[in-house]
Structure 1
Amino acid sequence: MQKKHPIKEAIRIHQILDAGLSSDKRYPVNVTTVVRELIPLFNREDPIVEIQGVDFSGIDGALIRHPEKSEWKIVFNNNVDHPGRVNFTIAHELGHYMVHRHNLGKTEFKCGEQDMLDENDSGINIESEANEFAANLLMPNHDFRAQIEKQKFSIDLMQHCANRYDVSLTAAVLKWLNLTNKRAIGLLSEEGFMHWSKSSGSAYRSGRYFATKQDCVEVPEFSLAAQEQNSTEARDGVRHGPGIWFPGEEVIEHSIYSKEYGKTLTVLVLDDAGGYSDPDDFNEDDELLTDSYTNFINNGQNPY
């Protein structure tokens, strides 16, 4: 069976949502409603029949096939109290359903922090692909770009996006990093050390990244991240001279500390390259689908 592309699968859904919903009802995407009312249009042979909150330990969510029937269910961690994170988790599990359930022949996908770092036997990071599907379903490029175009980066701008799409602030920042042409880096730290970091494409190509998967990386002593700042000044961005984050280069650091989680989300913006773009290897306009579901919309029939 031909491998499915997570962005294409997300586009299949949001094209129908664009056509079927008015602009004031389009966002945020209610993934539970999508699963129950829209996904059956794509497949009736092995449907998702249940979305359930359960008490998990170390797991954010899972997609599980019934042991005897051609049915699936999505479960998410009841202990997560952030609605945006739950919404993204359900979308992530839907990504496994749309992209991976047939190609990999698996009957269960359990998704925790460690799982997201592992590749499967085919050398594919399916957790990364499921995240890519979820991000593009909840935050389509064309609408996200409309929110950020000609806007200076700020934590408040990212919070606006998080509220619009009902996702976490972190998810909004990661989406911004995927679209921006600016040299920028996002990172999450705790007690002076980085959990992870992600560079924009232009930042990575210029050698500005932190190898957090290979090494234990400490945040710089005089950075806002090290000070666990949650001030207006830190949110708006502070310009550091050369040597604080990178030798020979100034950096604007935006930082916000969460007392609840004890972690700091930081975005570093280097020199301005300007503008926003889609991923280089994918063009939405060239990938409009012409299967029965697109025809369903073209004929003027709406799913709601």
Structure 2
Amino acid sequence: MGQEVVSEKKFPQKEANRITHILDTALPEHIRFPVDVEMVAKELTPSFSQDPITAVNGGSMGNSVDGMLVKHDSKDEWAIFYNTDVVHPGRTNFTKAHELGHYMVHRQSLSKTKFQCGEKDMLDENQQGIDIEAEANAFAANLLMPNNDFRAQAEGQKFSIDLMKHCADRYGVSLTAAVLKWLDFTKKRAIGLLSEEGFMHWSKSSNSAFRSGRYFATKQDCVEVPEFSLAAQEQYSIEARNGVRHGPGIWFPGEEVIEHSIYSEEYGKTLTILVLDDAGGYSDPDDFNEDDELLTDSYTNFINNGQNPY
């Protein structure tokens, strides 16, 4: 008496790792990154199932939809569609990987024939109480920025905006996505946040920072950035990028903080990373608990805070 395969719970990180292992084996280093999501979808999914992805197409979808995964009306085939109105390659790349995540993780367990994803959809849970948009984001993050390779880029490196820019360019993702991944890895007490006109949109603490009580409750409260911080000044300067050490009382009472900050005129927002003093290091990327995976993944927290990881 065996169990139905269709009912088996699939974990985003494990599904992403399946593909990562294939790509690591098949591709030489110089063409390994960024991941060609279209190639993965069209060339590898036939080996995973009898209902492969056969098309990845772009088109104008307006402002409400970022991408879709759709099953063919009469064939056992799927297609990914992405919004060409989005002009940032990192966001488009992540959207394609997100839809591939729905294919790998959700198409069988939910028995759906269409997944349509926009900002509103990414904040909603389905009727089964599973946050499938957060799961698809977790898949995308692990596919585009595999743990072993990300660790190789960051291990032994002092945090800097330039290091995060290197990672963003290597993986074809946004600077924010790279910072969120770094916060998942680092053992340093660190906090990432996005602010606009003096107030935080969201913040994300590393595990060690959160455990030491260093976090901002942006979901519950309207949190103002400190008056004398770089974030409040909306700076785009070499000094702000490289980091400025503040004395106690600027960000936290009784504790110094190194603040790295970069202001985007295009969006009118400031991305800030705070690094607090401690021993540092990096966590083991392969040491994760399947049951707790989505509780600790930064992309889950990011979506729950009402933001897309672009």
TM-score normalised by structure 2 residue count: 0.86
Within 5 Å, give how 1:221-240 maps onto structure 2: 221-240=227-246
* 1:144 is the counterpart of 2:150: yes
Q: CA deviation at 1:254?
A: 0.6
Q: CA deviation at 1:282?
A: 4.3
In the alignment, structure 2 segments of 5+ residues that lack a partner are 1-6, 291-310
Q: CA deviation at 1:141?
A: 0.8
Identity of aligned residues (%): 73
Q: Deviations over 1:91-128 (max 9, x none)?
A: 01101110011112222222222332333333322222
Q: CA deviation at 1:59?
A: 2.1
The amino acid across from 1:157 in the alignment is: L
Q: CA deviation at 1:220?
A: 1.7
* 1:107 is the counterpart of 2:92: no
* 1:70 is the counterpart of 2:59: no
Query: Paired residue for 1:174?
Result: 180
Q: CA deviation at 1:196?
A: 1.6
Structure 2 CA distance for partners of 1:24 and 1:215, relative to 1, 3 Å: same
Query: Paired residue for 2:54?
Result: 49
Greater CA drift, 215-224 or 233-242: 215-224
The amino acid across from 2:277 in the alignment is: D
Structure 2 CA distance for partners of 1:62 and 1:213, relative to 1, 3 Å: farther
Q: Deviations over 1:44-102 (max 9, x none)?
A: x2222221222222222222223443322211121111112111110011011100111
Within 5 Å, give how 1:8-19 maps onto structure 2: 8-19=14-25
2:25 alignment partner, SS class: helix
* 1:81 is the counterpart of 2:123: no
1:155 to 150, 161, 174: 161
* 1:258 is the counterpart of 2:264: yes
Query: Paired residue for 1:93?
Result: 99
Query: Paired residue for 2:288?
Result: 281
Q: CA deviation at 1:213?
A: 2.1
Query: Paired residue for 1:289?
Result: none
Number of aligned positions between the proteins = 282
Q: Deviations over 1:16-71 (max 9, x none)?
A: 1111111111111111111111121112x222222122222222222222344332
1:30 to 36, 44, 47: 36
The amino acid across from 1:48 in the alignment is: I
Q: Distance in 2 between matches of 1:217 and 1:191?
A: 11
Query: Paired residue for 2:125?
Result: 119
Query: Paired residue for 2:214?
Result: 208
2:137 alignment partner, SS class: helix
Query: Paired residue for 1:60?
Result: 66
The amino acid across from 1:141 in the alignment is: N
TM-score normalised by structure 1 residue count: 0.88
The amino acid across from 1:71 in the alignment is: E
Conserved in 1, the CA contact under 8 Å of 2:42 and 2:52? no
Q: Distance in 2 between matches of 1:220 and 1:58?
A: 34
Q: Distance in 2 between matches of 1:181 and 1:228?
A: 28
In the alignment, structure 1 segments of 5+ residues that lack a partner are 284-304
Q: Distance in 2 between matches of 1:39 and 1:260?
A: 37
